[in-house]
Structure 1
Amino acid sequence: MGQRGSADRNWLLVLDGLPDPVTRSREFTRRALTAWQWLPAEGEAVREAAEDVLLLVSEVVANACLHGGGPGALVLDRTDERLRIEVTDTNPAPPEPGGHGLPSDPARPGGHGLLIVERLARAWGSRPGALGKCVWLEVPWPAAGLSPERPAP
């Protein structure tokens, strides 16, 4: 499991064929957030934002496993204003909140991943890819005094 790209801005994890891609994606994202000084972080708002990012990564990768034919890659791309998360898969069909056209039953497990994404992400969507699609989402950079350019303590 390796990272490519600038450690300062972009991280790429190839997931195709990896066992347990959800756990691997969370570990990878946790390392990126640590490198970008989200973790460990001072302040409740920053810690909550980091936990939200880990949950969002888990949900999008799990959806690729369940509905997308398996995840291809995870990309983390940050700017001074936002963190963008992208997950590719081999299914060209766009994601549908509520279980692929079926009404969501709050009493049943599953089928709520995109509802979580809608609640926690600033924006999200999908775009066609060469072999399927890319599901992306964005969250704001935490505002609790952190700057992505601030040197590590």
Structure 2
Amino acid sequence: METASGDADVRTLALGAASGTVPLARDFTRQALYDWGWLPAATADRRAAAEDVLLVVSELVTNACLHADGPESLRVLRFDGALRLEVADLGAGQPAPRTPHRAGRPGGHGMFIVQRLCRAWGIDRTPGAAGKTVWAEVAAPA
């Protein structure tokens, strides 16, 4: 596990052409949750928050796999009151929840799930550079 800039509150995982990207990203994030005390969860609220984080990571990485030729990296950042999850890819697309959302339709729920579970999410682009970073913030349990 690599820490960025020696900072214990930032974890970075290079993904690129790795196989089993989604489970790899979940395992990496789960380890960060253990290291930062989110797991093992002592209460149902803490357990739900940790599961939300893992689901959001799965959705962001899956979205990059399906719509952006795969993710380049995952960053997990811890700060007061939340975790920020960042998935960088080389795609030009613009992730957005499908509207109207139809619960019975197969597929197409990823960004709707992210929107519902996160206190904020968005897309960062660097002018003149390929790709983007899709990020989401999950609030820490009280």
CA distance in 2, matches of 1:88, 1:8: 20
Higher normalized helix content (fraction of residues): 2
Q: Which runs of 5+ in 1 are unaligned?
A: 144-153
Superposed counterparts of 1:89-108, under 5 Å: 89-98=89-98, 104-108=101-105
The Cα shift of 1:80 comes to 1.6
Q: Across the two proteins, how many residue pairs are aligned to each other?
A: 139
Name the structure 2 match of 1:30. 30
Asked if residue 15 in structure 1 is aligned to residue 15 in structure 2, the reply is yes
Asked if residue 110 in structure 1 is aligned to residue 116 in structure 2, the reply is no
Say if 1:22 and 1:58, in contact at 8 Å, map to a contact too.
Answer: yes
RMSD: 1.5
CA distance in 2, matches of 1:128, 1:120: 23
Name the structure 1 match of 2:130. 131
CA distance in 1, matches of 2:7, 2:31: 10
Scaled by the length of structure 1, what TM-score is found? 0.85
Q: After TM superposition, where is structure 1 displaced by more than 6 Å over at least 4 residues in a row?
A: none
CA distance in 2, matches of 1:27, 1:45: 21
Report the secondary structure of 1:76's partner residue: strand
Structure 2 letter corresponding to 1:135: V
Scaled by the length of structure 2, what TM-score is found? 0.91
Say if 2:67 and 2:93, in contact at 8 Å, map to a contact too.
Answer: no
The Cα shift of 1:96 comes to 2.0
Say if 2:86 and 2:135, in contact at 8 Å, map to a contact too.
Answer: yes
Report the secondary structure of 2:39's partner residue: coil
Name the structure 2 match of 1:39. 39
Q: Which runs of 5+ in 2 are unaligned?
A: none
